[in-house]
Amino acid sequence: MYQVMTVGDVELSVHDTGGGGPVVVLLHGLAGHAEEWAGTRRGLHTDHRVVAFDQRGHGGSSRRPADVSRAAHVRDVVGIADRLGLSRVTLVGQSMGGHTALLVAAQHPELVERLVLVESGVGGGGAQLTADVAAMLERWPVPFRDHPAAVRWFGGGPVGHAWADGLEARPDGLWPRFDVDVLVRTLSEVHDHQAWAELDRVEQPTLLVSGTNGLIPSAEIDQMLRIHPTARHVRIPGAGHDVHLEAEDSWIRVLRTFIEEPASRAGGPRPTGSGRRRGGGPTSPPR
């Protein structure tokens, strides 16, 4: 069930399955919503406690927060964990949600036991990439006439349905539950800064998940594995950027395997000083 929690300067719409099992926290990407993790939640909830929430500026959470910085998103994760009494969680993030998860793991190692980055890199790309994403969002033909029209626009299948399910019904049709200018401000800091130094601080067992048709460059993944040499990379055949939707069964098997393994087999912690403290990485292309 969803509940609204006040965390700092925002209200966040949070879904918590409850229960006493190991905790998995799920972070959606830009323009997404917590309910796109419904399949993942069903695949885990029998023996895990699963928490997901709409990021600030998205869905049922505060739509126009004053602060959309990376630091604010990190505070949201930590604040929800504090409100729910969570500790030692598996933190999973897709796309921009993965970028947030990476920062949380680096800055709050006491909270994160394992880290899973789904089609997510270290950021970068600059202002032009932000402009490209803004232009893409502005091309959405809103309002959509109805749910089937939205599903078709988003490409059909599980991805189309998940994106259409995130829309808000109004008298004149279906609208996004976000404002593009807020998302542009949110994304600009991700594109302004590459989080190589933050990745170098991550000591937890880490899993990188990508699709064979995904958007994260192989060179970036390779560099991430060099900086975090005990991390593991799994590429899911036939999937694109929305791996968790396009290949749900394969994704859940991969996730379960990782979070249920002993830490020694899951890949961490890595040896002290194994990272490249002064190393850089490639600049990500548009995604």
Dist. CA 147–CA 40, nearest whole Å: 22
Query: How far does Cα 177 stand from its chain's mean position?
Result: 17
pLDDT in tens, 207-259: 999 999 999 999 999 999 999 999 999 999 999 999 999 999 999 999 999 99
Q: Given a cut of 70, is residue 145 above it in pLDDT?
A: yes
Dist. CA 205–CA 136, nearest whole Å: 35
pTM listed for this prediction: 0.93
Q: Which CATH architecture has domain 2-124+193-266?
A: 3-Layer(aba) Sandwich (3.40)
Q: Given a cut of 80, is residue 277 above it in pLDDT?
A: no
Q: Would you kindly state where each structural domain of the chain is located, as residue ranges?
A: 2-124+193-266
Helices (H), 45-167: 70-84, 96-107, 126-138, 147-153, 157-165
Q: Given a cut of 60, is residue 273 above it in pLDDT?
A: no
Which DSSP helix (H) or strand (E) runs through 53? Answer: strand 49-53
Dist. CA 248–CA 108, nearest whole Å: 29
Q: Is 133 helix (H, G, I), strand (E, B) or coil?
A: helix
Token pair listed for 34? 């917590």
Helix axis angle, 96-107 to 180-192, nearest 10°: 50
CA gyration radius, the chain:
18
